[in-house]
Chain A
Amino acid sequence: MKPISLLMAELKEKGEKAFIAYITAGDPDLNSTVELVQALSEAGTDIIELGVPFSDPLADGPTNQKASERALKNGCNLGGIFEAVQEIRKRGIETPLVLFSYLNPIYKYGVERFAKRAKEVGIQSVLSVDLTPESFTNEEVKFKLACEREGIEPIFLLSPTSLKSRWKIIERESKSFIYYVSRTGTTGAKAEISDTLIEELKMVRKEVKKPLVVGFGISKVDQVKSLSPYCDGVIVGSALVKELEESRTFSIAKNKIFNLATHFKKALEKD
């Protein structure tokens, strides 16, 4: 399986934009996660982020918080997620996977053990939502080195409040792509994207060379369409997760998620 940095380069070569889907692993259970990854992959999703459920997800809005709660209630943990990923790969699904996690579950698992196991089961990248490149101490350096050794690519966020002086640091440390946070706030669908987002993307684009993808609160086809020219990919999360919360049955949710992913991917294609 290829690293995401390479996939992004290939997409760029072809003039394509990445559609990236986020779902919470284990929501409502890990078998469903395997099914959903398959559906997303069949819908043409380029990269899938699997959220690791956490008891105190302070960067998440209500939709993803509830997803985390559902997953934890059903006993989801990192060990189980790794097994589910093994199953995904066994089915021949090759879509690159990112683990999106708060640091504590990773630390408790052990940073070196985590990187080794992630590589073993076929995970490409990891994004720790409560880690910035500056907070590195012994344990974080160990984490970084372990990821490097295993070829797991770290991803960091860049936000509207990130000072220009730090953009280069984030670019250096973020290996797969730079994840631009579309607005200050938590994850979760919003009716409108920020007025200044496109200007911000243009500015960042001028300074950083790595692929730039944008996420947080993007939930609609027309939002994806309007952002497409200014970035290398778009991440949609809560809009998909919401279907799991609201649909009557899992198979209805899965169908809706498949359809949404198809539309989002299509919205990123050139007219």
Chain B
Amino acid sequence: MNPDSRGFYGNYGGAYIPETLYTPLEEVKKAFFFYKEDSDFQKELSYWQKEYVGRKTPLSYAKRLTEYLGGAKIYLKREDLTHTGAHKINNTLGQILLAQRMGKKRIIAETGAGQHGVAVATVCALFGLNCCIYMGEEDTLRQKLNVYRMKLLGAEVRTVTSGSRTLKDAINEAMRDWVTHVRESYYLLGSALGPDPYPQIVKEFQSIIGKEAKEQIIKLEGRLPDECVACVGGGSNAIGLFAPFIEDKNISLVGVEAGGQGIEENLHAARFSGGSLGIFQGTKTFILQDEFGQIKKTSSISAGLDYAGVGPEHCYLKEMGRARYTSVTDEEAMEGFSLLSRYEGILPALESSHAIAYLLREAPKRKKDELIICNLSGRGDKDVETAMSYQKGRTLNETD
């Protein structure tokens, strides 16, 4: 669905921003609405999607995983096979073409796991634009390789040491930079969150995932799937997959949040389980906050899901009963990570491993003729070190 003219999805969304950003956001919105309908823009976008990103990505039948789980037939949408290894590039490519047409020479972005940062640095290198990436100090430590990748690509990486030193603080810092250098800079937000029009821009450029998957499943199975599942941090890969299926009311849409070390333990990033309505980083949405409206620290093994807010359209889909949101713990996600590696020869990103973990829990309960599409949003090479130390920690605990 589309938001109203001020960016609201029902009661969610909007643009809650300092006055200085009002006009720049209007300019981005105007350009977006114009170029989204412009055939030259679309032609160029398709060209790079095909020739540079490597689209379309396969919709692979996960035969051994399906057999192992013994229930629903599982298809994986292989965003891990895109150039740079995650769905993030779909959005950065679209937005960089927009930024170029707006005459912006300097790109600012935030990154959590580093995948969005790498995808921004990549398109900036491709088009020769200056690139400044903000990343929380804690994330730079758990995603060292991505920091170096961004630098190799010519980006300046600025470590953020304020607040909780994760994604939300990187967004604060990126917005502070934007508000200061607003005339020459373009803020390339990486998920379907933040102030209007970002949730709709990101959805537009990510919806290629769902569009392809819809065509592919019809070709492969002669029918639409019964369920689509994706992990939800900000919610860009999920909204991208869901987008063309929202109107097919009998297809179940499931978002999987980070349950971290457990909802009861209060160490998680499951906004729909432990959160409440609030205003955070430009949008009205579900957030993890304390009784005084201060943003809580989140916890997840996956840096990309470790965020206190969620994209506003997901709140609306939940309220309408159109999508369902659940969570899996770090431990379950690690199980998904291992299992997909062993049974399909695919190392999934820890983010995507949350969606896989949902399959481990749910697919066995389903009939064999049910079809589930799972968005494999990124590859897990970046997470090997985290996985290694997680396993090591567990082995140590077990021998205690």
Known: A58-B281, A184-B182, A186-B179. Is A159-B16 also a contact (CB below 8 A)? no
User: Is A138 part of the contact surface with B, judged by Cβ < 8 Å?
Assistant: yes
Q: Collect the chain B residues with CB atoms within 8 Å of residue A135's CB.
A: 6, 14-17
- A132 close to B289 (CB less than 8 A): no
What per-residue 1/0 map shows which CB atoms of B18-58 lie under 8 Å from chain A? Answer: 11111110000000000000000000000000000000000
- How far is B278's CA from A139's CA once the two chains are assembled, in angstroms? 11
Beyond A58-B175, A107-B293, A108-B289, is A185–B15 a contact (Cβ under 8 Å)?
no
Residues of chain B within 8 A of A129, CB atoms compared: 18
B14 engages A130 (CB within 8 Å): no
Residues B176 and A186 in contact, CB atoms below 8 Å apart: yes
Distance (whole angstroms) from the CB of A50 to the closest CB of chain B: 16
Looking at chain B's contact residues, the main secondary structure is: mixed
B180 smallest CB distance to A (angstroms): 4
- Measured CA separation A137–B284 after assembly (Å): 11
Q: Is B364's beta carbon under 8 Å from chain A? A: no
User: Is B398 in contact with chain A by the CB < 8 A criterion?
Assistant: no
Q: Which residue from A55, A137, A156, A185 sits with its C-beta under 8 Å from B14?
A: A137
Chain B residues closer than 8 Å to A61, beta-carbon distance: 176
Stretch at the interface among A10-18, A161-169, A207-215: A161-169
Contact B23 A130 (CB under 8 A): no
Partner of A163 from B18, B23, B171 at Cβ < 8 Å: B23
- Distance (Å) between the CB of A178 and the closest chain B CB? 11
Please determine whether B17 and A107 come into contact, CB atoms closer than 8 angstroms.
Answer: no
Shortest beta-carbon distance, B31 to chain A, in Å? 16
Q: Chain B residues with Cβ under 8 A from A184's Cβ? A: 20, 179-183
Q: Are the C-beta atoms of B292 and A132 separated by less than 8 Å?
A: no
Q: How large is the interface on B (under 10, 10 to 19, 20 to 34, 35 or more residues)?
A: 35 or more
Q: Is A44 an interface residue (CB 8 A)?
A: no
The distance in angstroms between the C-alpha atoms of A61 and B176, with both chains bound, is 8
B168 touches A56 (CB 8 A): yes
Q: Which of A120-165 contact B (CB under 8 A)?
A: 129-132, 134-135, 137-139, 156-163
CA distance A54 to B15 in the complex (A): 18
B16 near A55 with CB under 8 A, answer: no
CB distance B11 to A130 under 8 Å? no
CB < 8 Å neighbour of B19 from A60, A107, A156: A156
- Cβ contact within 8 Å between B294 and A55: yes
Q: Can you name the residue of chain B whose Cβ is closest to the Cβ of A161? A: B23
Contacts of B183 in A (CB 8 A): 161, 184
Please report the C-alpha to C-alpha distance between residue A58 and residue B160 in the assembled complex, in whole angstroms. 13
- Whether A105 is near chain B, meaning CB under 8 Å from some CB there, is yes
Asked whether A161 and B172 contact (CB < 8 A) given A104-B279, A105-B294, A130-B279, the answer is no
- 8 tightest CB-CB pairs across the interface, nearest first? A108-B293, A157-B19, A185-B180, A105-B293, A159-B20, A77-B292, A104-B293, A55-B294
Q: Given A56-B169, A65-B162, A134-B6, 9 other A-B contacts at CB below 8 A?
A: A56-B280, A59-B179, A60-B176, A104-B280, A104-B295, A130-B18, A162-B23, A181-B19, A185-B179
The contact sample of 14 A-B pairs, CB cut-off 8 A, is A56-B281, A58-B172, A79-B292, A104-B295, A130-B18, A134-B22, A137-B8, A157-B18, A159-B18, A159-B22, A163-B23, A170-B19, A186-B179, A186-B180
